[in-house]
Amino acid sequence: MNFMRSDVFKKYFVPGIVFQSVVIAGGYGTGRELVEFFLNFGTLGGLLAMIFISTVLWSLVCAATFEFARVFKAYDYRSFFSKLLGKAWWLYEICYLVLLLIVLAVIASAAGSILEELFGLHYYVGVIGMMVGVGLLIFKGSEAIEKFLSYWSFLLYGVYIIFLVVCFARFGDSITSAVFQGDIKSGWALGGFKYAFYNLGIIPAVLFSTRHIETRKEAIGSGILAGIIGIVPGILLYLAMIGLYPDILGVPVPTNYILGILGSSFLQITFQIVLFGTLIETGTGFIYAVTERISSVYQEKGETMPSRLTTGMTVILLIVGAIIAQFGLIGLIAKGYGTITWGFFIFYAVPVVTIGVWKVYQYKDKDVALKGEK
């Protein structure tokens, strides 16, 4: 594990691991998201969209974001968007806070359901367990968060690989046929774009993990790797799912459906426990971004954010998420998610690859001019 402590790992891999950890709960945790954005466009069409559209867009935006954060030393989303959008920075925050409430409600509901279905525990045992896990990580700070997310991501990759191997042993001929003789339906590229933008808004939430980056080469390399690291578990799950195509298209929770067919209680329990850990990862990433945003205000004043404020903010956000889940408001809020996605596209994706790139080069030119004067 010495590699995980090395500068190379921290600079090139940690930002991607944190990104993957935050994206998984809303990106491909249940498998239903992969059906909606990819598999509905054919087995091969969906695979092309994942590899050549979503991955490329994630890598492009991550690279631009990490380099902008490095140049302007903007490691929380408030500082980042103040540099990028100026006085209009709050437009991103509105979108992010709405997304935060949706995600916290979803993971609270999922956490309660997982332990209830697996071990027969009360729904709130799972909810409270998730809340405690998130709270402890945030209280310990960025280094502990990075370590937990890194170790858990390796575990996640291992379980997803085993899951695919078992599925391949069971219906490998169907998987192979779906890849090499699969269908491609119209709209596959648009599906890849929608999925990419569906998850783009969370990239600024992982800025705290880019503090290790020191050069442009590291920022761009880390950004490219982030897109790849983020999508690989989704591809592994997608390959397992296409073995049951087209029957799996109408299944509410594809992962549970596949596990049921495999009939392995050990794999089912292991998979669900790992999934529970990913809920903690996602909740931690989302909330830590908010506490870092508030902490930046204190730092500008030369002060330190009180630990009780961090704890209080974390508890309040988690409770609000649990309440929203309890009263069934997830669907109501999620109806506006399409609008939020457009908000991230307009106020983040487009500006960072245009205005952001331009400002980085302007900053470089300014540095060159100042050195010339000296």
Fold of 2-301+309-373: Hydantoin permease (1.10.4160)
Instruction: Quick: pLDDT tens for 54-99.
Output: 999 999 999 999 999 999 999 999 999 999 999 999 999 999 998 8
Mean pLDDT, residues 288-303 = 90
- Collapsed DSSP state (helix, strand, coil) of residue 312: helix
Kindly give, in sequence order, each residue whose CB lies less than 8 Å from that of residue 361, ignoring residues fewer than 6 positions away: none
Q: What is the pLDDT of residue 370?
A: 43
Structure tokens at 174: 């169907």
Angle in degrees, CA 266, 233, 350, rounded to 5: 150
Helix, strand, coil % (nearest 5) of the chain?
85, 0, 15
Q: Which residues of 326-363 are buried (b: 16+ CB within 10 A; e: fewer)?
A: beeebeebeeebeebbebbbebbbebbbeebeebbeee
Evaluate whether 279 touches 130 at the Cβ level (below 8 Å). yes
In degrees rounded to 5, what are phi and psi of residue 218? -65, -40
Residue count (the chain): 374
Instruction: Quick: pLDDT tens for 104-136.
Output: 888 888 888 888 877 888 989 999 999 999 999
Task: Say which amino acid occupies 13.
Answer: F
User: How far is Cα 289 from Cα 98, in angstroms, rounded to an integer?
Assistant: 14
Q: What is the pLDDT of residue 365?
A: 58
Q: What is the pLDDT of residue 18?
A: 94
Whether the per-residue pLDDT at 191 is higher than 70: the answer is yes
Structure tokens at 98: 């709405």
Domain boundaries, the chain: 2-301+309-373
In this prediction the pTM is 0.91
Evaluate whether 275 touches 107 at the Cβ level (below 8 Å). no
Evaluate whether 41 touches 49 at the Cβ level (below 8 Å). yes
User: How far is Cα 98 from Cα 94, in angstroms, rounded to an integer?
Assistant: 6
Instruction: Quick: pLDDT tens for 17-48.
Output: 999 998 887 678 788 889 989 999 999 999 99
Cβ neighbours, 10 Å, residue 154: 13
pLDDT confidence tier of residue 311, bands split at 50, 70 and 90: confident
Q: How far apart are the first and last CA of the chain?
A: 45
User: How far is Cα 99 from Cα 235, in angstroms, rounded to an integer?
Assistant: 24
